[in-house]
Amino acid sequence: MKSNYKHIIKNAYKLTKSQKDNGQLATYIPELANVDPSMLGVHMTKVDGTNFGMGNHLDKFSIQSIAKVLSLTLAYKILGEKIWKRIDVEPSGTKFDSLLLLEINNGIPRNPFVNSGAIVICDILITHLKNASKEFLSFVRDISDLPDLTYSDKIADSEKATGYRNVALCNFIKSFGNIDNEPSEVLDFYFDMCSLEMNCEQVSRTFTFLANGGNKISDNKKIISNAKSKRINALMLTCGFYDESGEFAFKVGLPGKSGVGGGIVALYPNNYAIAVWSPKLNPNGNSYRGMKLLEEVTTHSELSIF
């Protein structure tokens, strides 16, 4: 890694650390409310393997919705363009649209990154795999080079016990015929998937395949085709941040994905993946300081995709 990058990340980290943090911890998953809100970490991994991190970049956090990119990758790899019969590729517009638009669109979620879309992806994987939960974990272990990675039962159980909104979504889609398996089975897998824990270093390394034409950087193994990798990046850019996707594209200018655990991953194709973590969320459900830090990095590196 060029010292230039290190310099930019250091400065962005320091600036963000020195400013007031304005967000709120996610409370709808009780277990997430127990996280230390002062955490701030950042780690960048270049496609040549060089990498650099700051702050709490080696502390694990619940990656939550960031995992949706990985489940999409697995389903897209297995089934190809067929999956788009069951999920659209458009931004969702507003928060409540997730339900309004689901009804208008007869149970076809707007994109694979809103909860409804990720739930349909889980349903697809359950149908096409012998043991979706197990095989998805193997897939993530492989691309992350973390053979000991496991789901967090504590997080998954916490969400299972209180995730009424997701139960509602899954049953609503089922009522339109766009869920093939039993809602409880689909949701068990969905909650498992979202319970994965990694640190910033691991997340940034894991996602380098999307900055590397679909190939793992450690052994150059093809995870997914170059064309599919580009399309996943396009989806992250237009749909990765709920109703703040336009803002992220506008200010940061990179494909990315956030999670309510306060993590964000972003990619600069052919260059690097970067992960940040700060638990307090802005009103749109994205990490308040994570957004700031990434904006600093791309503003000073002048390396957005635009």
CA distances from 135 to 74, 187, 189 (A): 10, 16, 11
Select 141 or 251, whichever has its Cβ closest to its own copies. 251
The reply, when asked if residue 11 is annotated as ligand binding, is no
Q: Are 186 and 132 in contact (CB under 8 A)?
A: no
> How many residues in the chain?
306
Smallest gap from Cβ 57 to its own copies, in A, equals 26
Contact 267, 44 (CB under 8 A): no
Task: Identify the H or E element spanning 264.
Answer: strand 263-268
Q: Which of 5, 151, 190, 268 is catalytic?
A: 190
Q: 164 labelled as ligand-binding?
A: no
Binding residues for its own copies, rule: CB under 8 A, are 88-94, 96-97, 99-101, 103-104, 110-111, 164-165, 167-172, 174-175, 183, 226-227, 229-231, 233-235, 237-239, 243-247, 249-251, 253, 255, 269, 299, 302, 304-306
Q: Is 260 a catalytic residue?
A: yes
Helix axes 164-175, 115-128, angle to 10 degrees: 70
**24 vs 225 by CB, closer to its own copies:** 225
**Residue 5 annotated as lining a ligand binding site:** no
Residue pointed to by tokens 């955490």: 39
Instruction: Supply the minimum distance, in Å, between the C-beta of residue 58 and its own copies.
Output: 30
**CB 192, CB 156: distance < 8 Å:** yes
Asked about 6 being catalytic, the answer comes back as no
Task: Please tell me whether 190 is known to bind a ligand.
Answer: yes
Instruction: For strands 272-277 and 263-268, give the pairing.
Output: antiparallel
From the list 13, 42, 62, 65, the catalytic residue is 65
- 272 annotated as a binding-site residue: no
Beta bridge partners, 181, equal none
Nearest distance in Å: CB 168, its own copies? 4
- The type of residue at 245 is S
Q: Is 268 a catalytic residue?
A: no
Query: If we measure between CA atoms, which residue out of 162, 174, 158 comes closest to residue 122?
Result: 174
Q: Rank residues 34 and 94 by Cβ distance to its own copies and give the closer one.
A: 94
Active site residue 190: yes
CB 55 within 8 A of CB 293: no
Which residue, 93 or 138, has its beta carbon nearer to its own copies? 93
**Amino acid sitting at position 190:** Y
> Residue 29 in 3-state DSSP?
coil
Q: Is position 297 annotated as part of the catalytic site?
A: no
CB of 229 to its own copies, least distance (A): 8
Exactly one of 242, 268, 272, 288 is catalytic; which is it? 242
Least Cβ distance, residue 250 to its own copies (angstroms): 5
Say if residues 116 and 140 touch (Cβ distance below 8 Å).
no
Q: Pick between residue 49 and residue 93 the one whose CB is nearest to its own copies.
A: 93
Is 260 within any annotated ligand binding site? yes
Is 65 annotated as belonging to a binding site?
Answer: yes
Note whether 199 and 63 are within 8 A (CB): no
Q: Residues at the annotated binding site? A: 65, 115, 159, 166, 190, 242, 260
Annotated binding site for substrate: 65, 115, 159, 166, 190, 242, 260
| Residue numbers annotated as active site | 65, 68, 190, 242, 260
